[in-house]
Amino acid sequence: MPTDIREATAADSGLILDFIKQLADYEKMSDEVVATEDSLRKQLFPTDGNPKAHAVLAYAGDQPVGFALYFYNFSTFLSRPGLYLEDLYVKPEYRGAGHGKALLLHLARQAHAEGCGRMEWTVLDWNTPSIDFYHAMGAQIMNEWKICRLDREAMARLAD
């Protein structure tokens, strides 16, 4: 069955949260999810029209099977925006049917059409199926780069 991709709306906040929770469970990070339907709605579909991120949903017929959540960043070297794929998830029972590929292609086409200099994302080092999938799609794994992170507590300490 072909994949239909559509932009998420505020009414999809519960579905997006469900996908996030399923992804967190798969990544063994369920205890880190603090997102709520309301917090997602406020960030993705704010009343001021300035979303902090965007989401697309994948459907097989009328069944939601996956999602991708992304935002825009900027490359100083390229002097162009980039599309950063924060999460891509397809329900296990729908994997291998092309839905993940359809989501990735949709965003790659969008990024290209919008003049983005690159599209990036991270993948956990133990997630061999995803790493293999991304390699097959032509992605380069950037092993020389390390992710640096300040969580809310660390930012608060620095801010003081």
CA dist 72 and 119 (Å) reads: 9
pLDDT for residue 120: 97
55 close to 16: Cβ distance less than 8 angstroms: yes
The per-residue pLDDT for 118 is: 97
Q: What is the pLDDT of residue 33?
A: 98
Residue 69 phi, psi (nearest 5): -120, 130
In 14-92, the DSSP E strands lie at 54-60, 63-75, 80-90
pLDDT of residue 50: 97
Instruction: Determine the Cα angle at 86 with ends 125 and 144, to 5°.
Output: 40
pLDDT of residue 1: 78
Name the residue range of residue 106's domain. Answer: 3-159
Total-model pTM: 0.94
| Residue 134 designated active-site | yes
Find residue 83's DSSP bridge partners.
Answer: 72, 119
> Among residues 70, 84, 94, 134, which one is catalytic?
134
Structure token pair of residue 24 = 């967190």
Do 82 and 73 touch, CB atoms closer than 8 A?
A: yes
Give me the number of domains the chain comprises. 1
Cα(103)–Cα(5) distance, integer angstroms: 7
Per-residue pLDDT of the chain (160 residues; tens, 9 = 90+): 799 999 999 999 999 999 999 999 999 999 999 999 999 999 999 999 999 999 999 999 999 999 999 999 999 999 999 999 999 999 999 999 999 999 999 999 999 999 999 999 999 999 999 999 999 999 999 999 989 999 999 999 999 9
- CA–CA gap between residue 141 and residue 42 (Å, rounded): 33
Q: What is the CATH number of the domain that holds 92?
A: 3.40.630.30
118-120 vs 63-75, strand pairing mode = unpaired
